[in-house]
A and B are shown apart, each in its own frame.
Chain A
Amino acid sequence: MAIVDTRIETADGPAAAAGGRLRRPTGRAPSEPKAYVGWLFIAPNLLGVLAFTFVPLISVVLLSFTRWNLVSGFGGIEFVGLDNFLAVFQDPTFWRSLVTTIVYAGVAVPLTLVVGLALALALNRDIPARGLLRAAFFVPYIVNIVAIGMTWQMLLDPEAGLVNQVLGVFGAENLPQWFASSNWALPALILVTIWSQAGYANLIYLSALQDAPTQLYEAARIDGAGRWASFRTITWPSLLPTTVFLLVTLFVGISQTFGMIALITNGGPGDSTTTLSFYMYQTSFQFYRFGYASAVGLVTFIGIFAIMLLMWRAQRGRALHD
């Protein structure tokens, strides 16, 4: 069937129709779609985005220049200029939370990618029960966060937890205290994060692997390239855009982890697992300093956005497809 370019001029004028639209002839008399119908369709979603994304975002920016405890109402908002930002940069807890966030995301994200990629490479091969295994590895990603927290709390209990019991059987001494130690709590949190996120990375990598250019593998095989050489010169470059996508989405997601920290460690012991997002929560909903929390949020947002841009720029021109 021929596809006909039926650029039409709508009642809103040529400019509105300039984008053009491809339509199949239907045999019915063509009706003239009005622009407002489209707006009506997207209105509910648009209102949701405006109300629950843009308004809060703008509110955070405005609040970051104020002192406000929420309880005093809008009348209690006091403009303080840049005071909150100056306080943020002088706040040792902010800097410690920043370091914790960087270590947490900086370790968890690459390891999640490595585990996800390894799983994807294994599950892309023709192995028995491949479908079942693919589903099994994805399950942790969709498990409720409360269930994850409770399960890992039990598994990593220093005395009765399965992990330490097993380590003990193998003769390990001075067993890690996991969430009951300020030295081990962050590594334990990273472990749980990798466990819960690797299934997602695995799924995305699997779909990318299935799009890999088979003719290149064929050519490489003819040229005598081994598995490692094929991986290094074909698989990895072809996966680079996917890797960057995962790197960015996982970094944004993991650096903002809140639920798991609130459930398992509550930011402790000490402040060893207090990340920036958890610090923001404490500052706003425990200390009721919403202006200051907004400043922390804004600085965090700018930081994450800058890192995201850097990651994006760093990969440009390096992918196989480029």
Chain B
Amino acid sequence: MLPASGLSLSRRQFAGAMGAAAGTAAVAGCSSGSSKDMDTLQVWGGIPAESGPQAVIDRFQEEHPGTHVTYTRYVNDDRGNLTVNTALQGGVDIDVFFTYGVPNLTMRTNSGLAADVGDLVRATPELEAFLDTEDPKALIDGDEITALATTRIPQMVLFNEDLRERAGIELPTQWTVEEYLEVIRALADDGKYGTYVLPDIARIELGPNYRFTKDGNSNFSHPAFLKHFELAAELIRDGVLYPWSQALARQLEAYQQNNFIAQDFGLWTTAPYSLRFLTDQENYPHDFKVACAPVPTLDGNDWNTGEYGAFLQINSKSPKQDLAWEFCKFWLLESAQDVVKAGYISLLGDVGDDELLDGILGEGAEEFFDVDSFRRTLFEDQPRMHLDTELTAYTEITQKYQQQRDVCWLLERTPQKAIENVDSNAQALIDRFEED
């Protein structure tokens, strides 16, 4: 029989009570409610704070005394995006967030997570560029605008100047895919490959929404897709392109810079954000100079394979809509000088091309870069970029495309068969998800 006094607990009872309390506390801890400070703006983005965002924030805070901005960096991969999505959905205090990649953009917007800033954009003459529906740089649905691109991410072709000169190739300022193929064949010599991978030939020819026909069906039966697969497979077989088996086995997709710096190939199609590796002599030492050429054209079609990106969105649940918009406006119009260090070329802003170029190429640019070629390619040529707006089963179709591309470039499946598979899979996915 237990003693009558409620205060006298046996060791068992005490331990049990502690366990129950701990369990209750653990469960209670799952639902923390945070009070929202109206003068503190919570911003989530994918660029490390020190690569530009913190500098933007510091200047914003200077111009808006009494306002505090907290920047949370997330990694732009599946796991990072899941964190953002659950945080947004779970009511975490986020006022402004960056979205990378069109599928994430559409999903967040369609789920009502992004506020409509259409009226605010129309009321701001400096942001007129976002109203262009012919060359969209924002997510526009009628009068509604829910995302604004902050950067241009043009693709460019980098040359290892040592290898180019050794092969006796003239640096192109404009060139066709045929000329491009001649160049990479000439570069593939003496244990070197011409390049890592071909630029997306179908994109060059077809531009935005190239996976879909005008009536929304699969467009993979277009000859441009087959041509891309065929050319790449042929060049891999000939030892001109880097072997896809090695690229897959070593998971090189995210580490192409290492092979370019190791001079495994002489030509590399990439975007300005990769230049940070080439300006970092400490971690990526190299002694060759790098020049820049535009993405080649095909039959008069000159779509750059790059796109508009890093979209700013305001959380529709944020109680600080006005402050959030002030911050977005500041970022769109005044962040260029700060984010260029990370290789991001702002879509808008009053910073001159030379200043942007200095930011991208870093100190001592003349020693390691043919600066004029970068100025010409990235700024004077005004590359023609795209934004896909037809997004049915976008991620699934991307996956099916990559799967067939891999087996084709491993030379295990013919390009014809591979592209037929992509086409039939894409059409099946479109049929299944077109109502979403």
Complex A-B: 11 CB contacts under 8 Å? A31-B2, A32-B2, A40-B16, A40-B20, A41-B19, A43-B19, A48-B23, A71-B88, A153-B251, A158-B246, A180-B245
Residues of B close to A285: CB separation below 8 A: 78, 82
Q: Does A168 contact B (CB under 8 A)?
A: no
Nearest chain B residue, comparing its CB with the CB of A161? B249
* Chain A proximity of B321: nearest CB distance (Å): 19
Nearest chain B residue, comparing its CB with the CB of A74? B89
Residues of A close to B404: CB separation below 8 A: 270
B window 402-431: CB within 8 A of A: 403-404, 406-407, 410, 412-413
Binary interface encoding of chain A residues 29-41 relative to chain B, with 1 for a CB under 8 A from any of its CBs, else 0: 0011110111111
Given contacts A43-B20, A285-B82, whether A158 and B27 have CB atoms under 8 Å apart is no
Binary interface encoding of chain B residues 26-47 relative to chain A, with 1 for a CB under 8 A from any of its CBs, else 0: 1100000000000000000000
Residues of B close to A70: CB separation below 8 A: 85-86, 89
Complex partner residue of A157 from B250, B395, B413, CB under 8 angstroms: B250
B contacts with A: majority SS: helix
Is B15 a contact partner of A41 (Cβ separation < 8 A)?
yes
Residues of B close to A31: CB separation below 8 A: 1-2, 10
Q: Does A179 contact B (CB under 8 A)?
A: yes
Q: Does B129 contact A (CB under 8 A)?
A: no
Residues of B close to A142: CB separation below 8 A: none
Complex partner residue of B16 from A37, A156, A183, CB under 8 angstroms: A37
Binary interface encoding of chain B residues 229-249 relative to chain A, with 1 for a CB under 8 A from any of its CBs, else 0: 000000000000000111011
Binary interface encoding of chain B residues 102-114 relative to chain A, with 1 for a CB under 8 A from any of its CBs, else 0: 0000011011110
Q: Does B22 contact A (CB under 8 A)?
A: yes
Residues of A close to B20: CB separation below 8 A: 40, 43-44
Given contacts A287-B396, A288-B107, whether A44 and B23 have CB atoms under 8 Å apart is yes
Is A287 a contact partner of B89 (Cβ separation < 8 A)?
no
Given contacts A31-B2, A41-B16, A70-B89, whether A182 and B23 have CB atoms under 8 Å apart is no
When chains A and B are docked, how far (Å) is the Cα of A40 from the Cα of B413?
62
Binary interface encoding of chain A residues 77-112 relative to chain B, with 1 for a CB under 8 A from any of its CBs, else 0: 000000000010000000000000000000000000
When chains A and B are docked, how far (Å) is the Cα of A17 from the Cα of B12?
19
When chains A and B are docked, how far (Å) is the Cα of A70 from the Cα of B17?
36
Given contacts A31-B10, A71-B111, whether A181 and B2 have CB atoms under 8 Å apart is no
Is A159 a contact partner of B246 (Cβ separation < 8 A)?
yes
Q: Does B283 contact A (CB under 8 A)?
A: no
Given contacts A270-B404, A285-B78, whether A76 and B111 have CB atoms under 8 Å apart is yes
Given contacts A31-B10, A41-B12, whether A181 and B85 have CB atoms under 8 Å apart is no
Q: Does B59 contact A (CB under 8 A)?
A: no
Is B412 a contact partner of A181 (Cβ separation < 8 A)?
yes
When chains A and B are docked, how far (Å) is the Cα of A43 from the Cα of B244?
54
Q: Does B61 contact A (CB under 8 A)?
A: no
Nearest chain B residue, comparing its CB with the CB of A157? B249
A window 168-185: CB within 8 A of B: 177-183
Residues of A close to B111: CB separation below 8 A: 69, 71-73, 76
Residues of B close to A181: CB separation below 8 A: 245, 410, 412
Is B410 a contact partner of A269 (Cβ separation < 8 A)?
yes
When chains A and B are docked, how far (Å) is the Cα of A187 from the Cα of B382?
50
Given contacts A32-B1, A40-B16, A43-B23, whether A182 and B249 have CB atoms under 8 Å apart is no
* Chain B proximity of A242: nearest CB distance (Å): 35
Q: Does B5 contact A (CB under 8 A)?
A: no
Is B245 a contact partner of A47 (Cβ separation < 8 A)?
no
When chains A and B are docked, how far (Å) is the Cα of A178 from the Cα of B245?
10
Q: Does B124 contact A (CB under 8 A)?
A: no
Q: Does A268 contact B (CB under 8 A)?
A: yes
Is B27 a contact partner of A47 (Cβ separation < 8 A)?
yes
* Chain B proximity of A87: nearest CB distance (Å): 7
Is B432 a contact partner of A87 (Cβ separation < 8 A)?
yes
Complex partner residue of B395 from A87, A179, A287, CB under 8 angstroms: A287
Is A158 a contact partner of B245 (Cβ separation < 8 A)?
yes
Residues of A close to B395: CB separation below 8 A: 286-287
* Chain A proximity of B254: nearest CB distance (Å): 12
When chains A and B are docked, how far (Å) is the Cα of A178 from the Cα of B203?
32
Complex partner residue of B2 from A34, A39, A43, CB under 8 angstroms: A34
Is A268 a contact partner of B246 (Cβ separation < 8 A)?
no
When chains A and B are docked, how far (Å) is the Cα of A294 from the Cα of B37?
38
When chains A and B are docked, how far (Å) is the Cα of A71 from the Cα of B84?
10
B window 167-202: CB within 8 A of A: none
Nearest chain B residue, comparing its CB with the CB of A284? B82
A window 46-76: CB within 8 A of B: 47-48, 51, 69-73, 76
* Chain B proximity of A151: nearest CB distance (Å): 14
* Chain B proximity of A48: nearest CB distance (Å): 8
When chains A and B are docked, how far (Å) is the Cα of A270 from the Cα of B402?
8
When chains A and B are docked, how far (Å) is the Cα of A179 from the Cα of B20?
49
Complex partner residue of B407 from A44, A178, A270, A288, CB under 8 angstroms: A270
Nearest chain B residue, comparing its CB with the CB of A185? B248
Binary interface encoding of chain A residues 279-313 relative to chain B, with 1 for a CB under 8 A from any of its CBs, else 0: 00010011110000000000000000000000000
Is B249 a contact partner of A180 (Cβ separation < 8 A)?
yes
Binary interface encoding of chain B residues 71-86 relative to chain A, with 1 for a CB under 8 A from any of its CBs, else 0: 0000000100010011
Is B248 a contact partner of A40 (Cβ separation < 8 A)?
no
Q: Does B67 contact A (CB under 8 A)?
A: no
Is A270 a contact partner of B403 (Cβ separation < 8 A)?
yes
* Chain B proximity of A240: nearest CB distance (Å): 40
Additional pairs, 15, CB under 8 Å, beyond known A72-B89, A182-B412: A32-B2, A40-B13, A40-B15, A40-B17, A44-B20, A70-B89, A71-B111, A72-B110, A153-B251, A158-B249, A269-B412, A270-B413, A282-B399, A286-B78, A288-B107
Residues of A close to B23: CB separation below 8 A: 43-44, 47-48
Residues of B close to A182: CB separation below 8 A: 406-407, 410, 412
When chains A and B are docked, how far (Å) is the Cα of A131 from the Cα of B251?
39
Nearest chain A residue, comparing its CB with the CB of B393? A287
Binary interface encoding of chain A residues 250-293 relative to chain B, with 1 for a CB under 8 A from any of its CBs, else 0: 00000000000000000011110000000000100111100000
Nearest chain B residue, comparing its CB with the CB of A73? B89
Q: Which of A31, A36, A270 has the most CB of B within 10 A?
A: A270
Is A179 a contact partner of B248 (Cβ separation < 8 A)?
yes
When chains A and B are docked, how far (Å) is the Cα of A133 from the Cα of B2?
54
* Chain A proximity of B99: nearest CB distance (Å): 11
A window 153-207: CB within 8 A of B: 153, 156-159, 177-183
Residues of A close to B410: CB separation below 8 A: 177, 180-182, 269
Nearest chain B residue, comparing its CB with the CB of A268? B406
Residues of B close to A40: CB separation below 8 A: 13, 15-17, 19-20
